[in-house]
Amino acid sequence: MSNEQMEHRLVPTHVAVIMDGNGRWAKQRGLPRSAGHKQGAKVFEKICDHCQKIGVQYVTAYAFSTENWKRPQNEVDAIMDLLRSYLQETLKQAKRNVRLIFLGERAPLAPDLQRLIEQAEESSAQNTGITVCVALNYGGRAEIVHGVQKLAQLAADGELNPACIDEALLGQSLYTKGIPDPDLMIRPSGECRISNFLLWQMAYTEFVFLDVLWPDFTPAHLDRAIDQYAKRNRRFGGI
């Protein structure tokens, strides 16, 4: 194997990231939490570009969890506004060859945001470059519950034999249908937990926790996490 092939093999196909630490970043600077989210959104775009450059094929970023509705209304509004701007910007830049997918329950989102999401997904569906999945109003448990409800309905309608429900079928009933499981999950901000992110999909994902706050996260941090990942021995239960 050539060096180049070797290097390529060590780049994860799918990187998941919990974009955490925006609030603390703002607090350190005496700024409102929304300023941290704004900076965090810029970093998200930069990191997606870097992932594309180094050959990562899928990035999944945790933007807003099912539990984040507990936050003050003005903070929730600020995050939703940033998503609106991101989507409007994305719709203008169709040339970037990025496929955009949203993971999570959409019905509780503002109708205009739901429409923007649909437009962005539809207009980017044929793009062949990196796939960027934004986890928005996403919860790993809620996702599994929804998948199970869909299958239970099919069974109740006589269209599915419960004995035929297997891991593949449940996996195809989730928001991440058709997307390979993450190889690497990065959580900055010093917290060492997954906070309801991709519970089903991360059964064998490698975790890297970093002390940096998300708004300070740079492509060099991503490279460092990938270096750690490349040294891991993934066994998937084998030897």
Q: Which residues are catalytic?
A: 20, 68
**Paired residues of 16 in beta bridges:** 60, 185
Cβ at position 21, least distance to Mg ion in Å: 6
Residue (34 or 173) nearer to Mg ion, CB: 34
CA 175, 180, 183, 184: dihedral to nearest 10 degrees?
-30
From ligand IPE, Mg ion, none, interface partner of 98 (C-beta below 5 to 8 A by class): none
What does the alpha-carbon distance between residue 193 and residue 207 come to, in Å, rounded to a whole number? 10
- The token duo for 78 is 């600020």
When asked if residue 24 is in the footprint of ligand IPE (CB under 6 A), the reply is yes
- The one of Mg ion, ligand IPE, none whose footprint includes residue 24, by CB under 5 to 8 A per kind, is ligand IPE
C-beta of 143 vs 151, nearer to ligand IPE = 143
Cβ within 8 Å of residue 71, ≥6 positions away: none
Q: Footprint of ligand IPE on residues 53-72 (CB under 6 A)?
A: 62-65, 68
List the one residue from 15, 18, 56, 78 that touches ligand IPE (CB under 6 A): 18
Give whichever of 65 and 151 is closer to ligand IPE, judged by the CB atom: 65
Name which position in 20, 143, 183, 206 contacts Mg ion (CB under 5 A): 20
For residue 154, give both structure tokens. 């099919």
Q: Annotate each residue in 100-139 with x if it binds ligand IPE (CB under 6 A) or - if it does not, as one string.
A: ----------------------------------------
Strand 58-65 versus strand 99-103 pairing type: unpaired
Write the CA distances from 156 to 149, 150, 200, integer angstroms: 10, 10, 24
Say if CB 105 and CB 137 are below 8 A apart.
yes
